[in-house]
Structure 1
């Protein structure tokens, strides 16, 4: 890994003029908003109980209509995946290229927390905030699981896009509508879980449309999405919050609903409306350099940001610092200090673990814009496609399972249900590790040709 390392300044200077820098800005900004939102929502009281600020102050749930920006990240992913697959059409090579900087830091995170969880439980110290942390730190892994599914489905869905354009997107939207009708009007059991695919893949499909310049009326997309989301929340069974809330009967997030899809449409339309000024902003040399630096550590920071926030609260409790009641005046007054402390701790964790998020090599001048890392494209052996598909499936189920079960109760065999299958943390880790190793093995192949930059 070390031989390929280059500085962010070199990467920024080597960026080809054809690169869509606004996409990179959106990627960084969307993850940054998610991290900040998680830090703000964490409401820990003096007993170490972790609550949700949006549950304490329900009026703040309307803010999720601006701060729930995961749809933007998945939209950007669709754009990048379309370009990446067109430059690496072989399925194993495409998977490996897209997943290297995603799964390496993820598996390190899982290994560190898994070892820590086992030690904590053996010492009998898994109570209070520590026990809560063991359950909470893996929850953001759902995002990585969904992203793995998007990578896996890119080749067939890109073919549908190239043939049907907006029709392929419409089919996914139609699937999401059908699922919610069956769910809410006819009480069909378990059908709602299909919307993990239909809703998020529809947002992802919008990225394909952007890659081919087919989003020509973003104002219509934004307006239609906002009106649809408002109507569904006002008239239907959908809650106001666009993030999951503790104890709610219906969540817009888990599983996703038609209201969340409409919310994603308005966000995509909104960021497309800002493309002109956003592109001019990120074209500045200083801004672009910062975006390159942030993209180089984004996944590591995302993985460890909850660890940092819970570490700040744990330190305050250990030092007998009085924690005010969540949402009180004193609580709000401490917010800037807590966020600053979490940012510092996150930076320290990034410094410790960023080397596992493979540093990119300089872009190839004139290459199609998708990422700042150019390597010889692998030519996998014939028949590697099914093995690669198996690998990403195992990784997907392992990481999603771990996001649900957490690291609490390792020695007791604590389990959670993933699509009607009971899964424990050790089983989830084995699945994820096996899947990653399969993708790495079949995607490596023999080196030939030249690659396309990929983020």
Structure 2
């Protein structure tokens, strides 16, 4: 906290503090949502599986229109990448410098997380305990890495997208609109014509479109209330129409048993939800920015930013530790969604906060920023490294960490992946990015 206070004290007056708050809040809402929504269920035969509170209480699903905040994180990413690229350009750097510095902030804590879990999963398998809650944990703790993998892909494409943004000039706002239209056309081909695999194109169209809006934010758009209010209203109406008249489910997160998920792959309904969230976020910018001018508030945001990614990576580990402990003690608890269950939520969340804080204290060192060197011209190595890291991290999210000896596999779109292959891809990609450090000889 002392370091956070020092950083807060030297914050330039030109810094957009709202961006830092949005980064923390978006990751924090994801963590809180997982803790509240994920429910571990034990079957009559002793099998263990997870379900979702929103599947048990479907009336709560419209809340995801507000709480599905990943679009906000990608919006912030666009803003941050625009400012980071401008800084690297001023210092004479290029693509390799940008990719290495931005990816490093994600890869270091992710590599530590994956390494620890690979060792734990191997020990579980060697001890013959790869079943029940432990088997479930070795698979599900890796699922949030989909976000890290997709974001790495966005980092890899950010300089090219910035060139497109600058080239578009006064028509730059049309670029994210075009991405949104493309996402809608993909859904037409997916739902009306059953074109296989085409839905995965929306991983690019949806998230790049939101990321492109971040460039507009960095350029000074959304200063007045008129455009944000129009975005909020349009997005809200569009979300209602998509989920009532259209073929989309109500929830903006995946539900057990549903044939269509608005998140995996993203749909046009998520585009509309993102539009409403962006509008709401920009409407709140003025009053919240004034609140962030308070020294104590800003110190808290700075401190939280230094811990957010580590907490995001380890929060499901904390949840499975607490769940395993309650199962070992034979505590079944009230029925999910009952009054007693809701009354216990503050206690449950308090336990998870404490466990996550302990994990953050143990692993936060990997989340510390490093100085960015410039001057490398090994862009080819950087591109290859980004591709390998992106595929490797997404591979972990698909297959998990367990089953190393048993040869557990999963399919990443069309690519068969294993935990070992995913680790090798990330390791090779990180090595290629490291080769780009410093000026080329």
Residue number in structure 2 paired with 1:371: none
Residue number in structure 1 paired with 2:318: 308
Residue number in structure 2 paired with 1:38: 34
Shift of 1:6: 8.0
SS where residue 412 of structure 1 aligns? Answer: coil
List aligned pairs for 1:368-387, cutoff 5 A: 375=371, 377-380=373-376, 382=377, 384-387=378-381
Distance across 1 between alignment mates of 2:340 and 2:427: 44
Shift of 1:97: 1.4
Identify which of 104, 119, 124 aligns with 2:123: 119
Matched, 1:436 2:440: no
Matched, 1:153 2:146: no
Q: What RMSD in Å do the two structures reach over aligned CA positions?
A: 1.5
Query: Could you state the TM-score of these two structures normalised by the residue count of structure 1?
Result: 0.91
Distance across 1 between alignment mates of 2:355 and 2:439: 41
SS where residue 378 of structure 1 aligns? Answer: coil
Shift of 1:178: 1.5
Residue number in structure 2 paired with 1:184: 191
Count of residues paired in the alignment: 426
Identify which of 132, 138, 142 aligns with 2:142: 138
Residue number in structure 2 paired with 1:453: none
Identify which of 398, 406, 412 aligns with 2:400: 406
The answer to whether the Cα contact below 8 Å between 2:97 and 2:372 also exists between their aligned partners in 1 is no
Partner deviation per Cα, 1:351-398 (whole Å, 9 max, x = no partner): 0000111246xxxxxxxxxxxxxx353211x3x111100000000000
The answer to whether the Cα contact below 8 Å between 1:46 and 1:324 also exists between their aligned partners in 2 is no
Residue number in structure 1 paired with 2:342: 332
The answer to whether the Cα contact below 8 Å between 1:46 and 1:322 also exists between their aligned partners in 2 is no
Residue number in structure 2 paired with 1:95: 99
Shift of 1:208: 0.5
Shift of 1:20: 0.2
Matched, 1:298 2:308: yes
**Runs of at least 5 residues in structure 2 that lack an aligned partner in the other structure:** none
Residue number in structure 2 paired with 1:27: 23
Matched, 1:204 2:204: no
**Runs of at least 5 residues in structure 1 that lack an aligned partner in the other structure:** 361-374, 448-455
CA distance 1:215–1:410, shift in 2 (3 Å)? same
Matched, 1:445 2:411: no
Distance across 1 between alignment mates of 2:411 and 2:393: 13
Shift of 1:46: 5.5
Shift of 1:150: 1.1
SS where residue 88 of structure 1 aligns? Answer: helix
Residue number in structure 2 paired with 1:396: 390
Distance across 2 between alignment mates of 1:79 and 1:6: 28
SS where residue 51 of structure 2 aligns? Answer: strand
Identify which of 271, 279, 295 aligns with 1:285: 295
SS where residue 183 of structure 2 aligns? Answer: helix
Residue number in structure 2 paired with 1:364: none
SS where residue 39 of structure 2 aligns? Answer: strand
Identify which of 402, 407, 415 aligns with 1:421: 415
Shift of 1:171: 2.2
Distance across 2 between alignment mates of 1:173 and 1:329: 41
